Structure 1
Amino acid sequence: MKRGLAIVAGLGLLAATYAVAATTPTSQLVEAPFGSRGSLGDTVSSQHLIATVHEASLAHEVELGSWRGTTAGVWFVADATVEATLESKLIEVDLFIDGVQYGGTKRGDGGTVDEHTVAVRFPATGPLLIELPADVVNFPGARSAVLRISPFGDDRLDSVVEIVIDLTTLEVADRVELEPARDGSR
């Protein structure tokens, strides 16, 4: 009887250990940034940034000043105004589609907002560019992609701006001509 009870108790403890291990959140989830969410056209504030993404589209080719960007996929192109709240910041942008992260391009020859320092009370307005796979609109998460605008560097446990975008509704242009980022609002 004691042996049977010990076996049942041991199996119960193993099951409890498995349940605890299976439900413990990962460090990535525990340390995730706090997103202030909005939609296209909304002005969204985080601890460090105030941002408005005015419009977004997709394009096969972009022209930004004298730079011409081609890609095997498509470009995600957004027009945004970003300013800092407490101190000047470098920013970075990422687009998350169904958990996959696509980072902003650094090929824009210095003409995108995320290649400039944004200052307090002095917004910067201009394009944000992210290279995506050609069939991105067919991805399962394309209807609820999240554009994250955050201070450059480690954003764990920090507050960030997040804009939810339905990529399936965006226009796909062959070629888009863009103006380089500039100081001031739209």
Structure 2
Amino acid sequence: MTNESTPEGGPPTPEGGPQAPAAASQTSAEALKTPAAPPRTPVWRHIANGAALVGFLVVGGIVVHTAPTEEQWQAPIAVTGAIGQTLTGRNIQATVTDIRVADSVTASNGWSGETSGVWVVVDASVEAVVTDYGASLSTAQLKVGDTLYGASERPDQATIEGVPLSVGLPNTGPLMFEVPADALAGDDARDAEVQLAATSDPRTDSMIVVPVDLSAIARQTSVTTEKPTWGDG
């Protein structure tokens, strides 16, 4: 028989050595367990987040593409109307009363204009609205397509090109534009514009705009213009 030795003051030790306490074994087993996976985000939430992101990108793109450019910020403020209509801007009031097209033009001072193109003669009345100070018909141009034709200075004082503007006292007379003959044909001629402003640089200021179909105006051999008048006379 085998004698089992018992430590003094303690319980017998089983054969095969000491055993770990039960509590320690349970703790070790729990530590070896695989951690539980976190709860999965519902699919609908991913879809909603994606849709919101797309919405933000679309709105951002619209804002970028619709924001005014620097050129648009500085563009003249057009006051548009028909022939015979009195149009009023910040410091200019104008009425274009007639538009004629001719091969040659004779001014009231006797000046005669010959050209290899044609003359577009615009009869108009212009005046200041707020103040006389610094106001003049410094912008008088004919737009055909992307091309701007300035009013001719050759007739000198026989036109109202560049005349000072007074409040309540209109200047009435012709403006003469020398343009190529082919400017009277095509889509550009149908969408031409007479443009008038009280400054030489009308950016961010009022500009009178009168659309005109040049292709619909009968071409005359010659035109004689009237002497410009100031005030009621």
TM-score, structure 2 normalization? 0.67
Deviation track 1:2-31 (CA, whole Å, cap 9, x = no partner) reads xxxxxxxxxxxxxxxxx9998776533331
Paired residues of 2:104 and 2:113 also in contact (CA < 8 A):
yes
Query: Could you say which residue in structure 1 is the equivalent of 2:102?
Result: 59
Query: Could you say which residue in structure 1 is the equivalent of 2:121?
Result: 77
The 1:26–1:71 alpha-carbon spacing in structure 2 relative to 1, beyond 3 Å, is: farther
In 2: Cα distance, 1:38 partner to 1:160 partner: 11
Query: Could you say which residue in structure 1 is the equivalent of 2:86?
Result: 43
Deviation track 1:109-155 (CA, whole Å, cap 9, x = no partner) reads 21111232121111011101111111112132111211110013211
In 2: Cα distance, 1:139 partner to 1:26 partner: 30
In 2: Cα distance, 1:95 partner to 1:167 partner: 11
Query: How far did 1:157 drift?
Result: 0.8
In 2: Cα distance, 1:167 partner to 1:94 partner: 14
In 2: Cα distance, 1:185 partner to 1:171 partner: 30
Higher CA-based Rg: 2
Query: Secondary structure in 1 aligned to 2:187?
Result: coil
Query: Could you say which residue in structure 2 is the equivalent of 1:125?
Result: 172
In 2: Cα distance, 1:22 partner to 1:130 partner: 37
In 2: Cα distance, 1:144 partner to 1:173 partner: 21
Paired residues of 1:146 and 1:164 also in contact (CA < 8 A):
yes
Amino acid at match of 2:226: E
Aligned residues: 170
Query: Could you say which residue in structure 1 is the equivalent of 2:136?
Result: 90
Query: Secondary structure in 2 aligned to 1:117?
Result: coil
In 1: Cα distance, 2:163 partner to 2:73 partner: 30
Match 2:214 to one of 167, 170, 181: 167
* Higher RCO structure (Cα 8 Å, ≥6 apart): 1
TM-score, structure 1 normalization? 0.83
Deviation track 1:8-56 (CA, whole Å, cap 9, x = no partner) reads xxxxxxxxxxx99987765333311010000111111111111110010
Query: Could you say which residue in structure 2 is the equivalent of 1:11?
Result: none
Deviation track 1:145-170 (CA, whole Å, cap 9, x = no partner) reads 11110013211111111111111111
Runs of 4+ in 1 over 4 A off after TM superposition: 19-26
| Deviating more after overlay: 74-83 vs 26-35 | 26-35
Query: Could you say which residue in structure 2 is the equivalent of 1:183?
Result: 230
In 2: Cα distance, 1:173 partner to 1:155 partner: 33
How is 1:102-181 mapped onto 2 (pairs within 5 angstroms)?
A: 102-181=149-228
Query: Could you say which residue in structure 1 is the equivalent of 2:51?
Result: none
Paired residues of 2:186 and 2:215 also in contact (CA < 8 A):
no
Query: Secondary structure in 1 aligned to 2:149?
Result: strand
Query: How far did 1:104 drift?
Result: 1.0
